[in-house]
């Protein structure tokens, strides 16, 4: 076999493998969901059709719009919270910790929650925030409250805290990777020129770390808006998110067409966030260049 033919075959095999996997695992299910979103529901069956009644229902019924806004708000709050927790930690690891062994230990400790079951992490915060949990016991012990309080659990604040804890590693990792790649010579040059620390951070460190920040926001926002376990465990009856409504439509309501339409809307939102993040990163690279 000629070398050129062998290279073409190798390229074809490398291309068709990932493409076949991507099409089977991602593209085909998405196309099926899109097709079912146009079906007509005739309980207990779903009749193939091409109509926009399911999308009209999403627009006409205000409860779906309310749930969608709530999901967007909670996902944004989780993303901001994880950023506020993650950036100082990543900055400390990248610039302040001199020992490589200590840096590796602290970085591993920051991402170790990823090795624990999602349900276990969520139940941990349910135990902490519950009426008989650690937080209430501590507040009673120091005398701030005289009896257990129920304000810490089954609300949107509890959801934000729980999801922020669960998704913080997805914010820490890309920010730390960006900070670690910043040439230390730029920081030293800024100091030699007499720039204050905050000015150096504002004009050098923060702009160069923005790709990691955008990646972290994309991860946490996409994961948060699609979460349906935390609202059940710590959210309460008035904290359902769009993913919970999708699960209900596919489960108890047996309304797959409407659930598919909700899934398509959620997919479009996530793709929009990813696209916007990619464009912002490209604009940042052009400005820095």
Q: What six digits make up the tokens of 261?
A: 């339409």
Helix axis angle, 134-141 relative to 118-129, nearest 10°? 30
Burial of 253 (0-12, 13-18, 19+ CB in 10 A): middle
In 3D space, the residue among 208, 197, 209, 207 whose CA is nearest the CA of residue 86 turns out to be: 209
Residue stretches of the chain with pLDDT short of 70? 1-17, 284-289
* CA separation for the pair 277, 226 (Å, rounded): 18
* CA separation for the pair 110, 90 (Å, rounded): 9
SS3 label, residue 193 = coil
pLDDT value at position 286? 63
pLDDT value at position 8? 60
In 3D space, the residue among 173, 14, 17 whose CA is nearest the CA of residue 93 turns out to be: 173
Rg (CA), the chain: 24
Q: What is the pTM of this model?
A: 0.87
* CA separation for the pair 234, 163 (Å, rounded): 10
**Hey, where are the domains in the chain?**
63-288
CB atoms within 10 A of CB 63: 10
Q: Is the dihedral of CA 134, 77, 121, 97 positive or negative?
A: negative
In 3D space, the residue among 150, 177, 170 whose CA is nearest the CA of residue 234 turns out to be: 150
pLDDT value at position 55? 93
CB-CB contact of 81 with 160 (8 Å): yes
Q: HSE (CB half, 13 Å, CA atoms) of 77? A: 14
* CA separation for the pair 160, 231 (Å, rounded): 10
pLDDT value at position 289? 59
Statement: 63-288 belongs to CATH 3.40.50.10140: no
Q: Alpha carbon 204 to chain centroid distance?
A: 27
pLDDT value at position 45? 75
pLDDT value at position 142? 87
CB atoms within 10 A of CB 241: 28
């Amino acid at each position: 076999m000629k070398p050129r033919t062998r290279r073409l075959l190798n390229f074809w095999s490398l291309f068709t493998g990932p493409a076949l996997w991507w099409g089977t695992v991602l593209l085909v299910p998405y196309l099926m969901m899109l097709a079912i979103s146009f079906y007509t529901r005739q309980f207990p069956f779903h009749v193939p059709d091409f109509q926009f009644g399911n999308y009209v229902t999403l627009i006409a019924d205000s409860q779906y719009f309310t749930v969608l806004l709530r999901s967007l708000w909670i996902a944004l709050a989780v993303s901001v919270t994880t950023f506020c927790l993650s950036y100082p930690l990543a900055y400390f690891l990248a610039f302040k910790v001199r020992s490589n062994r200590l840096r590796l230990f602290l970085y591993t400790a920051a991402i170790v929650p990823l090795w624990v079951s999602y349900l276990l992490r969520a139940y941990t915060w349910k135990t902490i925030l519950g009426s008989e949990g650690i937080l209430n016991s501590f507040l009673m012990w120091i005398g701030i409250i005289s009896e257990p309080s129920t304000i810490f659990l089954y609300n949107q604040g509890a959801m934000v805290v729980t999801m922020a804890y669960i998704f913080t590693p997805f914010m820490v990792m890309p920010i730390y990777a960006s900070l670690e790649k910043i040439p230390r010579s730029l920081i030293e040059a800024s100091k030699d020129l007499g720039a204050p620390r905050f000015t150096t951070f504002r004009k050098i460190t923060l702009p160069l770390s923005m790709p990691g920040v955008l990646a972290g926001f994309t991860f946490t926002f996409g994961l948060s808006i699609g979460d349906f376990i935390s609202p059940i465990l710590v959210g309460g009856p008035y904290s359902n998110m769009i993913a919970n409504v999708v699960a209900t439509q596919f489960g108890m309501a047996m309304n797959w067409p409407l659930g598919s339409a909700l899934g398509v809307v959620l997919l479009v939102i996530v793709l929009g966030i990813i696209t916007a993040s990619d464009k912002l990163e490209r604009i940042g690279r052009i400005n820095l260049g």
